[in-house]
Every structure is written in C-alpha cells, then in structure tokens.
Structure 1
C-alpha cells in the first residue's frame, strides 16, 4: 500500500506539471482563449521569466539542489553592477573638456 501511494505521488509530481506545460503551450500557440494566453505569456517583474517558467524552476529546484544554486546565481547576476572596466558597455560618460554628458537608458540590446 505504501509503495502504491509513493508511486502515485511521484506520478502526480511528474505528470501534472507536464500536462500543465502542454496546455500552456497549446494556449500560447493557438491564442485561444486570448485572456489566458496573455496571462500565461506574461512575465514576472522581479525575475523576468514567464510565470510558468518560474513555477517549473521552483519545482525543479525542489527536486534538484543544483538548480537552486543556478537560480540564486541568476538573482545575484541581476543585482551586480556592470562596470566599463569589467568589459561592460558604457551606459554613461562625462567629458568635462567638451562639456557633454551621455546617459543611455537600460533596455534590450539592439
């Protein structure tokens, strides 16, 4: 009986996310219903991932500790400052001799 219940729990942990991901894929590909497609394709403000991807990442992290390290590294990368000396593209610059200042807005790379 215990073996059957543990098998059922494992099947639920594997099959339910798979079925939800399949339904999400079908809704986004077809666009019907439109409101659900907009919700599922939406992004979370903090991580920038889709809502479904965040849930899948957390489930993966629950089952695999290496994924937790990867998620924490991704969050840390978002917090770290990019310096031009480290090879990052310059976002701003001040030329005192010419009397000009350049400030570029952060956005997607063009």
Structure 2
C-alpha cells in the first residue's frame, strides 16, 4: 500500500506538470484560444526551463546522483563571468596599432 502511494505521488509529480507544459506549448504554438494565448504569452518567461522540465530533472536527480552533479554544474556556469579573451573568435576587437576596429554580428 505504501509503495502504491509513493508511485502515485511520483506519477503526479511528473505527469501533471508535463501535461500543463504540453497544453501551454500547444496553445502558444497554435494561437487558439486567443484569450488563453494572450494570458500565457504575457506571463511566460523569456528564458529558462518550465515547471515540467524542472520537476522532471529534480526527480531524475533524486534517483541518480550524477544528474545532481550536472544540475549543480549548470548553476555554476550561469554564475561564471564570460571574458572577452576566452571567446573564439572574438565578437569585438580594437587594434590600436593598425587603427582598425572589428565588430561582428551575432548569428
């Protein structure tokens, strides 16, 4: 009985957010119904992962310690600073000796 309750709890943790994320994706892509699309588009974040992906990753990390290390590494990379010297090729550069400036578009 306890095992069944635990399985049901884990299923709800994964299935419900995944269903909401799927419905949100379909509404945003199709544009119908328009009132719901406007509400979702106004409230959706510009970057980051959704609730369903976060819950799935945390559940995966609970089962597998290597996933926890991967999530922590992702958080560390978000905090680290990007240096211009570390980029290859550089997006911008100024050569004072030659008197040239290089600016590249992203893309």
Q: TM-score, with normalisation over the residues of structure 1?
A: 0.60
1:26/1:34 CA distance change after superposition, 3 Å: same
Q: Secondary structure at the match of 1:94?
A: strand
Q: Secondary structure at the match of 2:94?
A: strand
Where does residue 61 of structure 1 map in the other structure? 58
Following the alignment from structure 1 to structure 2, what is the Cα–Cα distance between the partners of residues 96 and 2?
Answer: 72
2:55 equivalent to 1:74 = no
Where does residue 8 of structure 1 map in the other structure? 8
Following the alignment from structure 1 to structure 2, what is the Cα–Cα distance between the partners of residues 92 and 20?
Answer: 42
1:76 is displaced (CA, Å) by 3.4
RMSD between superposed Cα atoms in Å: 3.2
5 Å-filtered alignment, 1:28-39, equals: 28-31=28-31, 32=33, 33-39=36-42
Higher relative contact order (CA 8 A, sep 6+): 2
1:35/1:5 CA distance change after superposition, 3 Å: same
Q: Secondary structure at the match of 1:42?
A: coil
The answer to which of 59-68 and 17-26 deviates more is 59-68
| Corresponding residue pairs, total | 100
1:73 is displaced (CA, Å) by 2.7
